[in-house]
Amino acid sequence: MAKGDGPATAPQMAADGVTAEQRAEIEAARAAVSPTRRPTVPALEDILYRPLPVLDHGFVRVIDYFGDDGAVVQAARVSYGKGTKKVSDDRHLIRYLMRHRHSTPFEMCEIKFHVKLPIFVARQWIRHRTANVNEYSARYSILDREFYVPVPGQLAAQSTSNRQGRGGLLQGSEAEQALAAIEGLSAEAYAAYTKLLNEDPSGAAIEPGRQGLARELARMVLPTNYYTQWYWKTDLQNLLHFLSLRADAHAQYEIRVYADVICDIVAKWVPMAWEAFRDYRMTGAAISGPGLAAIRRMLAGENVTQESSGLSKREWAELMATLKRDKSR
């Protein structure tokens, strides 16, 4: 059976991982208009409820949001309305808050996402505990036959220098065997799952008269590349912390692509806060006290080496990488 195929009664998924039923709900939600006196963000309203595809079957949807850049400014000044009349003043204040780590004003904005993601990605994601989460229940419902298969460009070997990272790409027969194993085992697991349940995703019995295993037990045979879904609500401050770790180049690819999509959403939602976050967190750098002392000595003309810097070899290498200098210098 080809990847993505399933029983005839299984929900039919579009390319973006959305069922026909979900599509109808999305269209109905987008057709509705609700008058409000609250500030809204046109760029976010434009994508509200729309599934933004991620990986082979996943997506991210914005379900609701509260606040905007003005809410951050308002909270910082504890004032009425939107704060100052000059946009430039609001921008400078937000940059000041970000630069000096005054985080509570950013907690005044909240956003709620609907995310469809592989279970192993969800297990990484849930480590960010400062959010409200409600996940699809495989105790109550039957999981769809959808599992993540990496594209060839992500089939990497284990890194020899980083126990939780990837090395070079698998090539030729090694890559083919890995893909075949992932697809084959995933398909076999779903066949075992439905056999244990004795029902297909529509709830129809596969063998009438035979009692199936409880759903809460049958789910244990499915691998973690199967997809789950959840609603995830968080405030802007904690969302930015999530992005600082998961949109980083060192993050695992499969969670990083979700973070990248959310970065684009945040840029639409709070453009001034996003600009400050990008400048001071994403593309900025934190320097330790000894590292800063070494830089000052370099600027004074001293030939500073790792041995004379007071830094460990790893700290020195990281500092040189930040400064884009030869590690031997």
Instruction: Write out the catalytic residue numbers.
Output: 246
Give CA–CA dist 265/282, Å, rounded: 16
- Rounded CA gap, 304 and 295, in Å? 9
Instruction: Using CB atoms within 10 Å of the CB of residue 168, give its burial: 0 to 12 exposed, 13 to 18 middle, 19+ buried.
Output: exposed
Three-state secondary structure readout of 199-249: ECCCCCECCCCCCCCCHHHHHHHCCCCEEEEEEEEEEHHHHHHHHHHHCCC
Helix, strand or coil, per DSSP, at residue 149: coil
The answer to whether 310 and 290 have CB atoms below 8 angstroms apart is yes
Q: ∠ at Cα 217 (216, 223), nearest 5°?
A: 95
Q: Tell me the C-alpha distance between 110 and 8, whole Å.
A: 40
158's enclosing H/E stretch is strand 156-158
**Rounded distance, CA 15 to CA 219, Å?**
25
Q: DSSP string spanning 245-268? A: HHSSTTS-HHHHHHHHHHHHHHHH
Cα–Cα dist 186/57, whole Å? 14
